[in-house]
Chains A and B, each alone.
Chain A
């Protein structure tokens, strides 16, 4: 009997994949550029990423043992949760919509209002927020210290002296998040000369990139001013005309400046077709509603981004005024940004599920 128990114990600790060791090599196309952000005191290692992935999907990080980061950031939905607002441990809703986690390696200003400036600082916020995971760091440390295989794993990654503490937990999660690279959409393949877009996709791409110039008969939607570049992310913060006076002031509630009211992060559009509903409050159910907004319903206020002022496809127009087929073309282009490799990559999936299955 004792023998059998010992045997079962060994099996459980074996069912996770073996722990790889050594510096982690990031792989991404050269057109992504090397302006990456990795703090000196948290270099990315294979063992750190392995541990970070376990923690990202670890429900013991929440007060009711039911919620992990992966609950609100699901791989199949490009690490969003398909909801306008997410439900936390106490049953209440988050005040903003969950965000896609792709290409965080190039990101410094996190959250809809950019208030956090490193992944290392960010993760402690949802962990301890009573409306999200709702558990004090000491409790998390205590729970992990009693849960296999964490004690051994933390020692392996950070050394016996450090072991499990608030800082090492956060560091490991940040290491895993940096590996979430989306770089194999049809758009990437097109940029590498490996994919031939349809006529409609090319029309959408041109509209996405062009500024409207009715005097020269150039039609445009100007999206690339804020969502441009290979990563469709430029770390810019703007008021994109959702409201004249919004319920959520975004950066405005941090600075109280008139020009910051309703100012939010212009998020990446990678995998955008998978991450409905849209905007910081999930107000738009689909991309048609998003395009209707940009085309016809930009609301003016002191904080409205200058980029929208006077930008119109009609002479002396005040709205972009896109035609129905142009909106469709832009949506066709946006759909090229879906990266199937990313949402199915086994390296990003829940390791506990795989372990449970192989346990049976």
Chain B
């Protein structure tokens, strides 16, 4: 019985997750809509951090810089000059928004990894957190580990 229930719940999560996507827009060469299925094509990165339960968890996902570079954001060798005044806003399904400077995401600038996670301890994220969640390695407050991400926008600070 319990197993059946779990299966139903997992199916339910899977259906919801499939329907959801992230809109990537703004100062990018190729605006896209990223689906959960698209994530498998990228190298997977693991980041550990404590959740609200106070315990360490292993989050798996794709480096935000990889996804943004694929969409044509000016990272890597293009991240200089006026491009250093660029930032991204990440929006959640409840309307909550957080911001990162583009340079915070670039591995030529920092070793701190910021990923778009899809799994926690090898399992899909909980409904209330997923299907996509940003995980910021080593950041003390959880406020920018934004849950239920629906949109990422690249912009110039004006």
Contact = CB atoms under 8 A, between A and B. Distances in A.
B94 interface: yes
A257 B95 contact: no
Given A302-B12, A306-B147, A258 B95 contact: no
Given A306-B128, A306-B129, A256 B19 contact: yes
Interface string B116-145: 000000000001110000000000000000
Given A302-B127, A306-B129, A309-B128, A258 B96 contact: no
Interface string B88-99: 000001111000
Nearest to A239: B94
A292 interface: no
Given A257-B16, A258-B12, A236 B95 contact: yes
Interface string B53-95: 0000000000000000000000000000000000000000111
B94 A305 contact: yes
Nearest to B131: A259
Contact of A260 (B52, B93, B96, B129): B93
Interface string B1-27: 000000000001001100110000000
B113 interface: no
Nearest to B12: A258
A152 to B, nearest CB: 39
A309 B147 CA distance: 15
Contacts of B129: 306
A258 B94 contact: no
A235 interface: yes
A238 interface: yes
Contact of A257 (B20, B52, B128, B147): B20
Nearest to A235: B95
A252 B67 CA distance: 28
Interface residues of A, number: 20
Interface residues of B, number: 15
B132 to A, nearest CB: 12
B84 to A, nearest CB: 23
A258 B16 contact: yes
Interface string A13-54: 000000000000000000000000000000000000000000
Contacts of B95: 109, 114, 234-237
Interface string A210-241: 00000000000000000000000011111000
Contacts of B127: 258-259, 302
B92 to A, nearest CB: 9
Q: Which of B19, B20, B93, B148 has the most C-beta atoms of chain A within 10 angstroms of its own C-beta?
A: B93
Interface of B: 12, 15-16, 19-20, 52, 93-96, 127-129, 147-148
Interface of A: 109, 114, 234-238, 255-260, 263, 302, 304-306, 309-310
29 contacts: A109-B95, A234-B95, A236-B94, A236-B96, A237-B93, A237-B94, A238-B94, A255-B19, A256-B19, A257-B16, A257-B20, A257-B93, A258-B12, A258-B15, A258-B16, A258-B127, A259-B16, A259-B93, A259-B127, A259-B128, A259-B148, A263-B94, A302-B12, A302-B127, A304-B128, A306-B128, A306-B129, A306-B147, A310-B52
